[in-house]
């Protein structure tokens, strides 16, 4: 830098410092407005970001609710299993079990009777063999 350039810089600084009070006030107001505008823009951007996050969350929740509703509709379309359904389904099985139980009881009686007859025959055969001797 040359001496002339330095002198120009110093004179520019002096001119700048020689501002009037009204220009200083206007400059202060301008700085305040600029700072407030920047703060307002930052607040708006953060609010928009927050709203976007909320919208994404609401969209996700709505999609989950739609899926859940679809599953619920599919579930409610199916027939329900009630006491009447249970009774209707089990009645033939119970009747078959009762019939089988009755048949088994009759067979047990016949087997007992047959066993008694077999024992009588055995005693009769043993008695006949003893008479032969």
Going from N- to C-terminal start, the domains of the chain cover: 1-78, 82-133
Instruction: Please compute, for residue 28, the number of CA atoms within 13 A of its CA located in the half-sphere on the CB side.
Output: 7
Phi, psi (rounded to 5 degrees) for 132? -65, -30
Residue 119 parent element (H or E) = helix 83-132
pTM tops 0.85, yes or no: no
Phi, psi (rounded to 5 degrees) for 119? -65, -40
Q: What pLDDT, on a 0 to 100 scale, did the predictor assign at position 5?
A: 72
Report the pLDDT averaged over residues 66-86. Answer: 87
Query: Is the pLDDT score of 19 beyond 80?
Result: no
Report the pLDDT averaged over residues 79-85. Answer: 81
Mean pLDDT, the chain, integer? 86
């Amino acid at each position: 830098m040359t001496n002339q350039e330095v002198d120009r810089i110093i004179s520019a600084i002096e001119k700048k410092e020689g501002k009037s009070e009204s220009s200083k006030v206007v400059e202060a107001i301008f700085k305040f407005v600029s700072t407030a505008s920047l703060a307002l823009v930052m607040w708006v951007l953060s609010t928009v970001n927050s709203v976007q996050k909320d919208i994404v969350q609401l969209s996700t929740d709505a999609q989950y609710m739609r899926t859940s509703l679809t599953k619920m509709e599919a579930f409610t379309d199916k027939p329900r299993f009630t006491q009447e359904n249970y009774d209707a389904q089990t009645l033939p099985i119970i009747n078959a079990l009762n019939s089988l139980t009755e048949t088994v009881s009759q067979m047990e009686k016949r087997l007992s009777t047959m066993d008694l007859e077999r024992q009588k025959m055995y005693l009769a055969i043993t008695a006949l063999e003893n008479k032969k001797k």
